Amino acid sequence: MSDVQKTAVVTGGARGIGRAICLALAAKGINIVTCYSKSSAAAEEVIAECEKLGVKGLCVKADVSVAEDVTALIEAAKAEFGRVDILVNNAGITRDNLIMGISEEDFDSVIATNLKGAFLATKAVSRLMIKQRGGRIINISSVVGVSGNAGQANYSASKAGLLGLTKSVAKELGGRGVTVNAIAPGFIETDMTDALSDDVKSAMLSGIPMKRLGKPEDVANLVAFLASDEAAYITGQVICVDGGMAV
């Protein structure tokens, strides 16, 4: 993999952790492909920032919960760059509520985007990576997929499902030079956490041994490592980036 310029597909790369991942990989000289489901503006802005770092980029309209869209996304990446070396399944949504208040629609939509989307993208790149005799698949799970969280049964289930997907596919593809790992972020500074009240933030911090929120770059730096040649013997792992929350 080191003799060619790598290409990464990052789902949900328009903002927050996904944006940081795109920039971290681009800084390593990796071409970036990302997608958007509605508005293209934020995704196109990220691609423009990546291209300023000297790589090429591509922005594709795709809903990760729709098989045809995901197939088209991977085919577009292959058509543009000839290969896909790295897949980061980062796209995710929340529809938080207590279990008695979660509608069937809200449960299905979270599972469809967060878990089914990762399954579809992984399936789409697997054959290509096998032919290339190498690749990196990195699933962005969550600390609540490890420990659960009240009011997030649907989200926690989707993120826990990613851990099982990670371990199973790691066993299937390990002999073909493809590594599959999961990252479980804790509370990370994003637009969502910025909107929280000081009381809620204080309650969150009380459960974090390091007594601070993480930054998107904390997750992105680990993605860059797991995507590198230096991480060639690491697969099937779940790594928490949470300041010690899950300890």
CATH assignment of the domain containing 224: 3.40.50.720
Does position 242 have pLDDT exceeding 50, yes or no?
yes
Q: Determine which one of 155, 173, 186, 214 is catalytic.
A: 155
Residues 224-242: what's their mean pLDDT? Answer: 98
Q: What is the pLDDT of residues 121-175, one digit of tens each?
A: 999 999 999 999 999 999 999 999 999 988 999 999 999 999 999 999 999 999 9
Q: What is the pLDDT of residues 34-89, one digit of tens each?
A: 999 888 999 999 999 999 999 999 999 999 999 999 999 999 999 999 999 999 99
pLDDT for 247? 87
Domain assignment of residue 119, yes or no: yes
The DSSP letter of residue 13 is: -
pLDDT for 73? 98
Domain assignment of residue 40, yes or no: yes
3-40: b (≥16 Cβ within 10 Å) or e: eeebbbbbbbbbbbbbbbbbbbbbeeebbbbbbbbeee
Phi and psi dihedrals of 205, rounded to 5?
A: -65, -30
pTM (predicted TM-score): 0.95
Domain assignment of residue 246, yes or no: no
Domain assignment of residue 24, yes or no: yes
For the chain, the average pLDDT equals 95
Q: What is the pLDDT of residues 182-192, one digit of tens each?
A: 999 999 998 76
Does position 1 have pLDDT exceeding 60, yes or no?
no
122-134: b (≥16 Cβ within 10 Å) or e: bebbbebbbebeb
Structural domains in the chain (count): 1
* Structural contact between residues 140 and 166, judged by C-beta atoms closer than 8 angstroms: no
Find the domain containing 57 and state its range: 7-241
Domain assignment of residue 178, yes or no: yes
Does the annotation count 233 as an active-site position? no
